[in-house]
Chains A and B, each alone.
Chain A
Amino acid sequence: MELILALAIGVLTGSGVWLLLRPRTFQVIIGLSLLSYAVNLFIFGMGRLRVGAAPVLENPDAVDPSLYADPLPQALVLTAIVISFAMTALFLVVMLASRGLSGTDHVDGREES
């Protein structure tokens, strides 16, 4: 379980960083998306991995918190997903504007000659 999660985060981050450094706007935005998936998984992992444990305390008086999953990172991930989704949409619009104004999808706004 830990290994799978670690590998997933590593692969996503690696591909994301590589794509982020590419010259085409499409590659940049896919790279940013992959990076944000990696970060979301990472936040999730920071709440400690636990299979089959509920994040909600049923009986608040006599519970052992160690039997439950940490609900806070799940809330953080949810917020982070929403924000990165909105930012990706906004970035896409700017990229379209740039494509329309410069006639190329190179991030510098002109083809390298």
Chain B
Amino acid sequence: MPSLLDHLIIIPIVLPLMAGAAMLLMAERSRRLKAGIGIASVVCLLVVSILLLLQVDTMPAGSSVRTYRLGDWPAPFGIVLVLDRLSALMLVLASVLGLASLLYSLARWHRAGPRFHTIFQLQLMGLNGAFLTGDLFNLFVFFEILLAASYALVLHGDGSARVKAGLAYIAINLTASLLFLIGVSLAYGVTGTLNMADLASRIPTLSPDDAGLLAAAAAILGTAFLMKAGMWPLNFWLPTTYAAASAPAAALFAIMSKVGIYVVLRLWLLMFDTDAGPLAGFGANGLLIGGMLTIAFGTVGVLASQSLPRLAGCSVLVSSGTLIAAIGTGNGAVIGSALFYLVSSTLGIAAFFLLVELVQRLRDPGADVLSVTMEAYGETDDDLEAEVGVAIPATVAILGGSFVACALLLAGLPPLSGFLAKFGMMAAMLKTDGNGVSASSWTLIALLTISGLATLIAMTRSGITSFWARMDDSVPRVRVIEMAPVLGLLLLCLGLTVAGGPAMRYMEATTQSLRASQEYVGGVLSGHPSGTGPGENAR
């Protein structure tokens, strides 16, 4: 049964680990070689993850879960890696972002500090591992790997703003990790297992006392994950940190907050979906309300941002909030569109983070502050002479075009993929088969619309000050290798729009297999010793 192709699942973890470790042995000045190895590794990752995605997608419905036993121990005893539609999707997303930000960093940023390439590879390894693992404690270990790498990436490039933001970021995440550990050990104490599938299969058979403890464990775990995802009120660190990080690091971080979302989505649908007995639907309201508050907080933040990086950081919050609230609705069709939104908004935000740095090269410092205060005090600058016939240089035109594309994506306007995603979510919420649309759905729809409008206002305002109302006519130096990743990410979003049908079909299949948790449980535990079902050998 084991063929070489079965080992493909482990590649996304082993390859960056080997590449990163090998680069540690090389001298700091052999950057060209390191860059070559890094690019080769990320390109391989991309190819492998696309292969995995195709493999998963062609598997028959009802058995789309593949496992890989580490050390060949059967599932509840040994650690397994689990590949299903959701994890394959996240792997592709991570390697796309990895490739884009690594290419971007080659222009300048990889020279800004020591061992950038090693840390970058380890970050990818942590991300891939977190997406693949099927074991709670192993998830903790991969979380620590990706966090340790992200601490270094936040600080990459030095400067007191980064160190200050990094200090808060590390303290918050260490605390979140401790909460994670408490939750994991509590869940182990109640159910006697750390395997996610085994855990899910034991939940319906828990006694009421134990069910209460497990609910506490899930709440503590949820707090830890939602801290990373940036749910209000646990997200004050996020815009500051993301704004302080260097552009390629911030672009990669766009998927890091999605790791928290991914885990919540996976565990919540696995553990507390309709067949979870007394605990079915536990925490749904918390997610829904928390998500909506996050959207509101992010919207206010977007409007009040006085610098472009901070604006990008706040739009991460809006995107996280939308996803959390969509998960909280517990409606399969909404979650399907939310997955589409996840891909589109992650690509859009990453492109925006990369673009922001380029745009900032052509604006004078203080323009952002000026644009907000001018609006607040109702002042207009009348003394601008009419500049007729000034040719727009090609660089500025490309930058401006990309900026417009980012604005459309983040605000969710047609014709780009952000619109399809938001429209899908709203349409799914309004389709209730005769029952009235609930008040919470109306609130969420209103919040989605308002957040889109606010993003549009904020982006337009800073777009005008950076492209139209520039004080000098100098053209910034932007290299092709910096512009190509931004355009590539935006083109991917365009591709997502054009191929909206197939993409949406994949997302719906993903949601269906997520909701059919028996499929996941059965797939993971199929190597179980025959005769004893997963629920029967509880202690």
Contacts and interface: CB of A to CB of B under 8 A. Distances in A.
Interface of A: 20, 25, 28, 32, 35-36, 39, 42-43, 45-48, 65, 72-73, 76, 79-80, 83-84, 86-87, 90-91, 94-95, 97-98, 101-102, 107-109
Contacts of B184: 76
Contact of B181 (A28, A47, A80): A80
Contacts of B168: 107
Nearest to B180: A39
Contacts of A86: 148
Interface string B141-176: 100100010010001000010011011101100110
16 contacts: A32-B174, A32-B175, A35-B178, A43-B181, A47-B189, A80-B181, A83-B141, A84-B177, A84-B178, A90-B151, A91-B174, A94-B151, A94-B167, A97-B163, A98-B160, A98-B164
Interface of B: 137, 141, 144, 148, 151, 155, 160, 163-164, 166-168, 170-171, 174-175, 177-178, 181-182, 184-186, 188-189, 194, 539
Contacts of B181: 39, 42-43, 80
A45 B182 CA distance: 11
A89 to B, nearest CB: 11
Contacts of A109: 160, 163-164, 167
Contacts of A87: 144, 148, 170, 174, 177
A22 B184 CA distance: 27
Nearest to A33: B174
B171 A83 contact: no
B160 to A, nearest CB: 4
Contact of B186 (A25, A46, A79, A90): A46
A60 to B, nearest CB: 13
Contacts of A20: 171, 175
Contacts of B166: 94
A79 B137 contact: yes
B175 A35 contact: yes
A106 B261 CA distance: 33
A91 B147 CA distance: 12
A95 B167 contact: yes
A40 to B, nearest CB: 8
A39 B148 contact: no
Nearest to A76: B137
B197 to A, nearest CB: 17
Among A48, A72, A95: residue with most chain B CB under 10 A: A72
A32 B188 contact: no
Given A76-B184, A87-B177, 10 more contacts: A35-B178, A39-B185, A65-B539, A87-B174, A90-B148, A90-B151, A94-B163, A98-B167, A102-B160, A107-B167
A94 B467 CA distance: 38
State the main secondary structure of chain B at its contact with A.
helix
Contact of A42 (B148, B174, B177, B185): B185
B144 A83 contact: yes
A46 B189 contact: yes
Nearest to A80: B181
A25 B167 contact: yes
Nearest to B168: A107
A35 B181 CA distance: 11
A23 B82 CA distance: 43
A90 B160 contact: no
Counting from the closest, the 7 A-B pairs by CB-CB distance are: A46-B189, A43-B185, A46-B185, A101-B160, A109-B164, A98-B163, A39-B181
Nearest to A38: B178
Contacts of B188: 46, 72-73, 76
Contacts of B177: 83-84, 87
Contacts of B167: 25, 94-95, 98, 107, 109
A4 to B, nearest CB: 18
A67 B164 CA distance: 52
A78 B45 CA distance: 32
B220 to A, nearest CB: 11
Contacts of A80: 181
A35 B189 CA distance: 19
A61 B185 CA distance: 28
Contacts of B148: 86-87, 90
Q: Please indicate which of the listed interface residues B137, B174, B182 has the most CB atoms of chain A within 10 Å of its own CB.
A: B174
A98 B163 CA distance: 6
A39 B188 CA distance: 14
A84 to B, nearest CB: 8
Given A73-B188, A76-B137, A83-B144, A102 B164 contact: yes
Nearest to B165: A109
Contacts of A35: 175, 178
A46 B170 CA distance: 27
A91 B171 contact: yes
A28 B167 CA distance: 11
Contacts of B170: 87, 90-91, 94
A76 B171 contact: no
Contacts of B189: 45-48
Contacts of B160: 98, 101-102, 109
A10 B507 CA distance: 45
Given A43-B181, A87-B177, A101-B160, A94 B144 contact: no
A92 to B, nearest CB: 10
A79 B177 CA distance: 13
A29 B160 CA distance: 20
A94 to B, nearest CB: 6
A76 B141 CA distance: 10
Nearest to A35: B178
A107 B186 CA distance: 32
Nearest to A100: B163
Contacts of B539: 65
Contacts of A48: 189
Nearest to A36: B178
